[in-house]
Amino acid sequence: MTAADLEPLHRYTSDEYHRLIEAGGFDEGARVELIDGLLVEMSPKSREHELAVERLLDWLADRDRSRFRLRAAAPLSLADGTEPEPDVAVVAAGVADPYHPAGAELVVEVAVSSQRRDLLVKALRYAAAHVPVYLVVDLDARRVIEHTDPRDGVYRSVGEVEQLDARLPGVAVLPAADVFAAAFA
């Protein structure tokens, strides 16, 4: 039995979470995100993680800037109580913005020690928010898991791919090997 079994957890609403942030409730270096009302500690960023993210941002630079914004390590307001901070997101211009953009056309998570959360928990949240393409770049296993076709809160198509496809006008596919070469250069 754990403390969680004895005492109910407090789940934060998005409003409560933002009031806590605005009141200075976190240390400046705190790395947390709100998932299903719970504050979840984010994994530390390694050199390999940062190099992979940098390569992904370069890849997406050719998007149609009049239609899509590129965000890095910035929150999305997917539902009340769920505000993940994906490593990379491409957001359509004009998307609802309650605190942060309420959706994205593409989300990429670079996993070093967060594979379980990224593949199991976050995939469901992104599917529920109808994110068309969700990619998990698993640096440890040197693989990319692509999630597409979100319906009824789950991705109908999930599988390992050799190329990252943003499915955005003007953005070519990116060989997964290029991301791993950049990360481990």
Cβ-based neighbour number of residue 114 at 10 Å: 19
CATH code of residue 162: 3.90.1570.10
In a domain, 76, yes or no: yes
- Confidence category of residue 5, pLDDT binned at 50, 70, 90: low
More confident residue, 144 or 8: 144
Asked if residue 124 is part of any domain, the answer here is yes
Residue of 53, 31, 27 whose CA lies nearest to 42: 31
The pLDDT score that the predictor gives to residue 8 is 73
Domain count, the chain: 1
What range does the domain containing 80 cover?
Answer: 43-183
**Residue 13 token pair:** 């609403």
Q: Examine residue 146 and state whether it is found in any structural domain, yes or no.
A: yes
Establish if 85 belongs to a structural domain. yes
For residue 92, pLDDT over 70 is answered with: yes
Mean pLDDT rounded to a whole number for the chain:
92
Query: pTM for the complete prediction?
Result: 0.92
Other Cβ atoms within 10 Å of 99 Cβ, number: 14
Question: Domain for residue 81, yes or no?
Answer: yes
Alpha-carbon distances, residue 50 vs 43, 44, 47, 148 (angstroms): 12, 10, 5, 25
The pLDDT value recorded for residue 27 is: 84
